[in-house]
């Protein structure tokens, strides 16, 4: 889809359009939820640019694409939920399972610290940790949206919960294996 014009001036009064129709205040909980997802996508982009392991870069890129699906679903009024399409504008259990599979694969290769981790051992890992915290914020906003009746899809919440765990694991992997590797792992 090509964006024809960036500046529409339609939001000058503090409202924004939802996918498939409707307008809400920019301070609406739905807008907060998908805005938090957008922040996470950008932070993951920074992390991907900084990551030294090819494997982590590929996974982060796939997750960024998935987060556009998350954002699309969050940007849709429940009255239009029937218009959502699996893995295009609606999160599916298969998307959650893919995160689980990645976590299991990395868990087999990496000893996860049993104590609190202070981010910053590498720039890439620190960027992944920032992304993790932004995913957690998106999750908190989405939980609140669900509690207020604005979300029916449980898979979306599971996706965000699993993703923050995966970001933590990817950060630890990048700390361990990304110090000199630009193609491997």
36 found inside a domain = yes
138 occurs within a structural domain: yes
Q: Tell me, yes or no, whether 96 lies in a domain.
A: yes
Q: Please report, for the domain that includes residue 76, its CATH number.
A: 1.20.1200.10
In a domain, 182, yes or no: no
Per residue in 11-61, pLDDT tens?
566 777 777 777 766 678 899 999 999 999 999 999 999 999 999 999 999
Query: For residue 149, is it within any domain?
Result: yes
159 is a domain residue: yes
What domain range is 102 assigned to? 22-176
Q: Is residue 183 situated within a structural domain?
A: no
pLDDT of 39: 97
Give the pLDDT confidence score for residue 2 in this predicted structure.
62
Which band of pLDDT confidence, cut at 50, 70 and 90, is reported for residue 97? very high
61-96 pLDDT, tens digit each? 999 999 999 999 999 988 888 898 888 889 999 999
Distance from C-alpha of 2 to C-alpha of 88, rounded to nearest angstrom = 17
Task: Examine the pLDDT at 10 and tell me if it is beyond 80.
Answer: no
- Calpha distance 85→14 (Å, rounded): 29
DSSP state of 24: E
Domain total in the chain = 1
For residues 67 and 74, what is the distance between their CA atoms, to the nearest angstrom?
10
């Amino acid at each position: 889809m090509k964006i024809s014009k960036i500046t529409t001036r339609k939001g000058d009064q503090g409202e924004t359009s939802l996918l498939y129709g409707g307008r809400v205040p920019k301070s609406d909980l739905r807008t907060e939820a998908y805005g938090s997802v957008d922040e996470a996508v950008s932070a993951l982009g920074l992390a991907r640019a900084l990551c030294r392991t090819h494997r982590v870069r590929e996974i982060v890129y796939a997750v960024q694409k998935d987060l556009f699906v998350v954002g699309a679903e969050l940007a849709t009024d429940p009255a239009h939920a029937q218009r959502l399409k699996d893995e295009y504008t609606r999160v599916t259990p298969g998307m959650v399972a893919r995160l689980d599979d990645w976590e299991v694969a990395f868990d087999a290769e990496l000893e996860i610290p049993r104590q609190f981790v202070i981010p910053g051992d590498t720039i890439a890992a620190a960027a992944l940790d920032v992304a993790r915290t932004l995913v957690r914020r998106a999750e908190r906003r989405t939980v609140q949206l669900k509690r207020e009746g604005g979300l029916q899809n449980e898979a979306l919440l599971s996706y965000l919960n699993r993703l923050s765990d995966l970001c933590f694991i990817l950060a630890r992997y990048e700390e361990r294996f990304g110090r000199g590797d630009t193609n491997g792992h």
